[in-house]
Structures are given as C-alpha cells and as structure tokens.
Chains A and B, each alone.
Chain A
C-alpha cells in the first residue's frame, strides 16, 4: 500500500448544486503514480469530481485530501488541463505564449520569467514535441497539436498530479492515438493522471485504473475490473434515471452487454 503522502483520498464526498446532488457519499483512494479514468454518463459527476479535487467545489459533506493536505494547500502539485474548446483559438497568442502561462503561478508580482522558467518552458515543449511550433499562432495547429500545447503548459507548471477534463473530446483518430501514447508514457514515468473520459474503448487502452460514477460510486480499481459488463450496465443504464440510461446506451457501443 502506498503511504498517506502518496494517495488522493475521497472520504464520503458529497457535492450539491442547489437541490441537485452531483456526487453523493463517494469514498475511495487513488494511488499517486497511476493513471485513472473517471467514467460515467452525462451528469454522473465526472467534472464535479475533478473540480472538487481542485478545491473549487464546496463539499456538502466529506473530505478530500491530497497526500495529507487540503486541496487548497496542494495547489502547486496540481496541473489542470481544461477542455480544448473552452478557449478561443483565434486569440492572438503563440504556442510559446500559452506554455509560458504554466510558469505564471510560480512568479511573484512584478517578476518576469527567469532563465530557469524559460528552461522549463522549453523542456515542456520539447517533451510534447511542439518546440518547432513555438512561434505559431495557436489557430495554425491541428487538434492533436492544440491538445499537446495544453499538456505542455501543464507540464511547465512543474506539478506531479494532472487533472484532465475530457482530453479526448473532439480529437480525430490520429489525435486520440497520439494522446493515448503520451498519457501511457506519463503513466510509466509515474505521473499521476486523473482524466474525465467519455469513450470506454479509449479508457481501456489508455488508463490502468478507473473510477465509475453515477452520482454515487459504482466501481473503482483496475480498469478492466471496473468496466465489467455488470458495472457498465448499472452505471449507464440501471437505476431510476431511465431517460439518461437510454441516451448513453445509444451513444456507446460498449455499453451494450
């Protein structure tokens, strides 16, 4: 078992938006150094879970600890990668400009980027294979390259826990394969990845562990155990919310037993 230092623990976590309960009494641990897919249908609480780890969400009950710290105090360890379509890619900024943003939180007011910051930015761009695109405006990139810019910015932050909100959304086949390759590499390096994922096939091929949600915790553990037919059925089709179950059964071939 990993030491306390090296787990993200959820203890009876409950989140409510007004009268709607987004997460209810969720308890599990994630060992650091693993790559975990957060799975579930729309409204199952995937994004809410990530937001809670970031400390954005007031918990109605329960507690989240990162190592032995509250999420607010663990912020330097956390790197958040927003959904790709959440920004305007016409924005007048270059690839290097975006990756440099990863260093902003570490900078004091009035301080400029130091040589060590530039080194980290360059190293991150090298690692993600976008160094040759550094001076491009970000619209001039493919979807996969745009995703790698976001990942490079997260790497430049220098944290060890990566939270990815739907990183595969909108990527074509080639882009998905590229991203799968990168995330597998990260898992080997011992980086902790927690990603909200829609596609069960991608989850199987890309992540070693899974958390399956349907407001409550359905299953947690190794990805193949989590994505057993029974678990999938109860997460995507079972329960009271019939109308949601239908949508998802239609959207995911794998959801059918």
Chain B
C-alpha cells in the first residue's frame, strides 16, 4: 500500500472529509480547553460532565429526531444542569463538590442509557458512546466550526484573563477580574465543545481529545502559551491520524483518535527530558522538592 492510498484516498469520500475537518477543528479548540482543565485540576470533572450529556442528547433524539440543533441543545441543557446542579448541591447541603458532581453525573448517565435503550433500534448506543465517522452531517460540521471558532476567539481575546484565572484566581480577583464569570464561561465552553465532539468522538471518549494533548504538552513546556500551542498541535495531528486509522482498521473513530493521542501521552510521560519518568530516574532524584 503506497502513501497515497494510505493517507489521501480515504478522503475521496465526502463523509471522510467531513469527519476529518470536524475532528481537526475540534482538536484546535479541545487542545485549548484541555490546558485549562489540566492546570486547574478539573480533568475528572470534565470527564463527569461529558458523561452527563447523554440523557439530553437521547431525549432530544427521542422527541425531535436527528436534528443537529435539537441534539445540540439537549446536550447543552443536560451538561449545564449537571454543572449548576452540583454547584448548588455542594453549597446547600453537606456534600462536597466532587461527590456532588460524581453522584449527579452517574444518575444522568444511567438515565441516558435507559433512554437510549428505549429508542428505535436503528440507533446504536455504541455510536453515542464511542463515536462514528459516518455520522458527521453537514450540519454537525457547521456546529463544530462555529464552536471551534468561538473557543479560539475567547482564548485570543481573553488570553490574560484565562491565564490569571487559571494560575492565580485570588490575584485575578484582586486586580478587578470577574473570576466567577470566567469560570462559568469556561464551563459553558467546555460543554459546547463536548457536544460538538460527540459525533466523531462519542460521549465516553470526547474528553480524551481535550485532556490527552494538554497533559502531553504539559510534560514538555515551561510556558503557558507554548503549552497551548503544542497541545493544539498534538490534538490536530492525532485527530487526523486517528480518522485515517479508523478508516483503514474499521475502528470507532473516537477510539482511534484517543489511541493515537495515548501514544503521544505515554511517550511524553516516559521521555520528556525535564518532567518525564525516565529523566527523573536518570537524575537519581525525586523531581518534586519537599514543600
């Protein structure tokens, strides 16, 4: 098999081009979002958030069919309900925020699975969960484009606020920053990206496209801007590779993309000279000085 057949010919199909564009666009925004998730230690919360989209999407499907708009708003509503619900729950009861999030999302996810099993049989639960390149419609590509452009714009325009709120929220507030607003805006942006990534990545795996490139970049970089750019680069390249892999190997596209990102992550974690495991072993010292 030559290079052309390997890399170029898959994209003679319309659906493959759409899947590629959608994955690459969401790689750009996912790479950005992921950096903030990693640095603010919101990784697991993001995971919970992505699972909680399922009932919204399933309900939208049940009532409105395959309309992109309906799926989008269904997912958005479910995601925001989980985020706000757990914030309220942790303020008004004894339950802490992580437990509140964990409890709410699992209930939402169960409701979603239950709903999907009641849907007409032509809909496959696996597509929801793990992604299906065949599924990207023109409407969904437009949605991915809009969400990606919006995310990039927010990061470019509010770069300093994002940096301050991520690094030192107290100082951000002391200098007149609207921390709560930035945080809520960020959560909303995360949900938007998760919903848009659902077709290619699937609900269970979507967060991989955000998290893995960011963690990998984190292992190489000592500057925030460099980390953002490297994370985007990892996400874009591996999304494209993953789409190709899923075509040739007949894999679920979400799984293929996450596996490609996983390779980068494992290599980074082992071989990054300053922050990787082997580097620490070679130096013979613990990386982290005692506090």
Contact = CB atoms under 8 A, between A and B. Distances in A.
B157 A97 contact: no
A2 interface: no
B222 A137 contact: yes
Contacts, number: 61
B173 A56 contact: yes
B125 interface: no
Nearest to A170: B291
A153 to B, nearest CB: 8
A78 B174 CA distance: 8
Tell me whether chain B's interface is mostly helix, strand or loop, or mixed: helix
A17 interface: no
A98 B222 CA distance: 12
A86 interface: yes
A139 B290 CA distance: 11
A137 B274 CA distance: 11
A87 interface: yes
Most buried by A among B174, B221, B289: B174
Nearest to A83: B170
Interface string A129-146: 000000001010000000
Interface residues of B, number: 23
B178 interface: no
Given A92-B222, A92-B226, A109-B157, A104 B164 contact: yes
Contacts of A170: 291
Contacts of B160: 101, 104, 107
A93 interface: yes
B39 A91 contact: yes
B171 interface: yes
Given A105-B176, A109-B157, A170-B291, A94 B223 contact: yes
Given A92-B226, A93-B223, A94-B222, A101 B157 contact: no
A94 B223 CA distance: 7
Given A97-B224, A105-B176, A107-B160, A91 B171 contact: no
Contact of A92 (B157, B223, B289, B291): B223
A153 B39 CA distance: 21
Nearest to A109: B157
Interface in A215-231: none
B158 to A, nearest CB: 8
A105 B226 CA distance: 23
A110 B291 contact: no
A105 B178 CA distance: 12
A98 B168 CA distance: 10
Q: Top 4 A-B pairs ranked by shortest CB distance?
A: A80-B174, A105-B175, A137-B222, A82-B170
